[in-house]
């Protein structure tokens, strides 16, 4: 298996690639040799100050350097691959590189080489930008590169991992199938409002009791954070977005800890919760916040081992909210819920959601969810290498 860790600069690609190599005993091949190549080709010159012709030569050398991972016999993990030749070359030349003779053919070769990777892992720019003494310390530049990389990745199957190094390694282990941990027993139901999450949790409890499965459903606590969230949401969701995000994440962290999730998982229980970090990401991205900012803010919220997405239409969601008279202004906004659904659909393959048609008989839905949860028998993987630093856990804001 050839694995490429990609993303804009200062996202932790090298750290993750080395951690994966060590954890899973596979060769690490250095992909990002930009500093060395630039020093050899253009000594004393900053990469962002190269002429178009120099940048053209530089990206050809980067392409050849990325070949090492492809030419390696057997599995390996690398912290960069051919695809990034395009966004960096175009950004540093303000598009001027596109006028170079043979550029279209070069891009075709970039894509051909990039498709030789078996697994592409994308890292969002959720951690602070560091000064690498090579590229300009510009958050705008970093985000421009990130946007270009994401646009190019839309032509590929790729996965997103985020959080601490331990979290990223754990998510990689699950995605690749190389390792299971007790966190795979931590399951979140996600979906639009009124998609039946709460109903399904009750039915799952009943079915689990009959089947003898030790399943725990997390209580949603009416914490001070959630009370504050509901209060400011009622005032103006758009104007109070930053405060709402902070209260929502703090509320979810409180629920995680007050339900003793880690302790229950350690005892071999299956733990299921109603909504988690992807509710925050989809809702507040739909409110106009940037995706990378939402990854940063949910950084310390543990990623569920499995996300089950209950799929209904925005029209059904809104009509049910009207019928139950439980709808906030956003829950009654069809356009808003349409955007939330679009975001769920975009995130689903990147994070491996298990999608279930929730416009059926409740019993059929429960059966499908139960089957996804147990996969013949409840998981009991042991603690593995997963850990969470509760004492130092903080909420990241921007």
| pLDDT per position as a tens digit, 76-101 | 999 999 999 999 999 999 999 999 99
Best CA proximity match to 375, nearest among 202, 169, 180: 180
Q: Do residue 343 and residue 242 come from a single domain?
A: yes
The answer to whether residue 387 is domain-embedded is no
Percent of the chain with pLDDT over 90: 82
The answer to whether residue 159 is domain-embedded is yes
Q: Do residue 115 and residue 219 come from a single domain?
A: no
| Residue 273, strand partner residues | 188
Q: How far apart are CA 252 and CA 283, in angstroms?
A: 14
pLDDT at 376 over 50: no
Q: Do residue 220 and residue 297 come from a single domain?
A: yes
Give the pLDDT of residue 391.
35
Q: Do residue 233 and residue 124 come from a single domain?
A: no
Give the pLDDT of residue 240.
87
Average pLDDT over residues 357-375: 93
The more confidently predicted of residues 194 and 131 is: 194
Structure tokens of 160?
């997103």
The answer to whether residue 83 is domain-embedded is yes
Q: Do residue 77 and residue 117 come from a single domain?
A: yes
The more confidently predicted of residues 228 and 341 is: 341
Q: How many domains are contained in the chain? A: 2
The more confidently predicted of residues 127 and 395 is: 127
The answer to whether residue 398 is domain-embedded is no
Give the pLDDT of residue 130.
86
Q: How far apart are CA 13 and CA 32, in angstroms?
A: 9
Q: How confident is the model over 306-315, as pLDDT tens digits?
A: 999 999 999 9
* Residue 388 pLDDT class (50, 70, 90 cuts): very low
Q: Do residue 247 and residue 149 come from a single domain?
A: no
- On average, the pLDDT of the chain sits at 92
Domain that holds residue 233: 180-374
Query: Is the pTM above the cut of 0.85?
Result: yes
Give the three-class secondary structure for 357: strand
* Residue 141 pLDDT class (50, 70, 90 cuts): very high
* Residue 226 pLDDT class (50, 70, 90 cuts): confident
Residue 270: which H helix or E strand, with range? Answer: strand 270-274
Average pLDDT over residues 121-139: 91
Q: Considering 166, 193, 222, which residue would you say is the last residue of a domain?
A: 166
Percent of the chain with pLDDT over 70: 94
pLDDT at 396 over 60: no
The answer to whether residue 161 is domain-embedded is yes
Give the pLDDT of residue 278.
98
Q: Do residue 261 and residue 129 come from a single domain?
A: no
Q: Do residue 114 and residue 193 come from a single domain?
A: no
Structure tokens of 355?
């999608």
Q: How confident is the model over 194-218, as pLDDT tens digits?
A: 999 999 999 999 999 999 889 999 9
The answer to whether residue 305 is domain-embedded is yes
CB 250 within 8 A of CB 293: no
What CATH number should be reported for the domain holding residue 310? Answer: 3.40.50.300
The single residue listed with the structure tokens 């940048």 is: 55
Average pLDDT over residues 128-142: 88
The answer to whether residue 381 is domain-embedded is no
Q: Considering 166, 200, 218, which residue would you say is the last residue of a domain?
A: 166
Q: Is the dihedral of CA 309, 20, 16, 122 positive or negative?
A: negative
* Residue 364 pLDDT class (50, 70, 90 cuts): very high
pLDDT at 184 over 60: yes
Give the pLDDT of residue 327.
66
Q: Do residue 227 and residue 358 come from a single domain?
A: yes
* Residue 55 pLDDT class (50, 70, 90 cuts): very high
Q: Do residue 222 and residue 364 come from a single domain?
A: yes
Q: Do residue 361 and residue 255 come from a single domain?
A: yes
Q: Do residue 78 and residue 197 come from a single domain?
A: no
Average pLDDT over residues 95-120: 98
The answer to whether residue 152 is domain-embedded is yes
């Amino acid at each position: 298996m050839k694995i490429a860790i990609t993303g804009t600069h200062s996202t932790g690609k090298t750290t993750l690639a080395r951690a994966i190599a060590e954890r899973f005993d596979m060769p690490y091949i250095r992909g990002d040799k930009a500093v060395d190549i630039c020093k050899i080709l253009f000594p004393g010159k900053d990469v962002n100050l190269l002429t178009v012709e120099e940048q053209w030569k530089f990206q050809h050398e980067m392409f050849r350097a990325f070949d090492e991972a492809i030419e390696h016999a057997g599995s390996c993990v690398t912290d960069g691959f051919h695809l990034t030749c395009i966004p960096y070359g175009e950004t540093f030349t303000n598009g001027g590189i596109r006028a170079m003779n043979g550029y279209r053919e070069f891009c075709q070769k970039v894509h051909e080489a990039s498709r030789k990777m078996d697994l592409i892992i994308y890292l969002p720019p959720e951690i602070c930008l560091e000064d690498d003494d090579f590229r300009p310390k510009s958050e705008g530049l970093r985000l421009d590169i990130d946007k270009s990389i994401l646009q190019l990745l839309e032509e590929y199957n790729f996965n997103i991992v985020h959080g601490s190094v331990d979290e990223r390694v754990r998510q990689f282990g699950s995605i690749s199938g190389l390792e299971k941990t007790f966190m795979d027993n931590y399951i979140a139901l996600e979906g639009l409002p009124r998609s039946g999450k709460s109903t399904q949790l009750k039915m799952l409890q009943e079915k689990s009791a009959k089947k003898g499965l030790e399943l725990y459903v997390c209580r949603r606590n009416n914490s001070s954070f959630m009370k504050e969230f509901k209060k400011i949401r009622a005032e103006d969701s758009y104007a109070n977005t930053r405060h709402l995000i902070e209260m929502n994440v703090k509320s979810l962290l409180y629920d995680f800890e007050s339900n003793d999730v880690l302790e229950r998982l350690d005892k071999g229980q299956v733990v299921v919760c109603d909504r988690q970090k992807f509710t925050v990401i989809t809702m507040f991205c739909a409110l106009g916040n940037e995706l990378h900012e939402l990854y940063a803010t949910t950084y310390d919220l543990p990623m569920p081992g499995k996300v089950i997405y209950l799929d209904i239409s925005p029209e059904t969601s809104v009509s049910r909210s009207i019928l139950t008279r439980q709808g906030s202004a956003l829950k009654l906004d069809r356009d808003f819920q349409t955007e939330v659904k679009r975001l769920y659909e975009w995130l689903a393959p990147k994070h491996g959601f298990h999608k279930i048609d929730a416009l059926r008989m409740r019993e059929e839905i429960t059966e499908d969810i139960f089957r996804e949860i147990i996969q013949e028998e409840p998981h009991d993987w042991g603690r593995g290498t997963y850990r969470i630093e509760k004492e130092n856990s903080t909420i990241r804001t921007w």
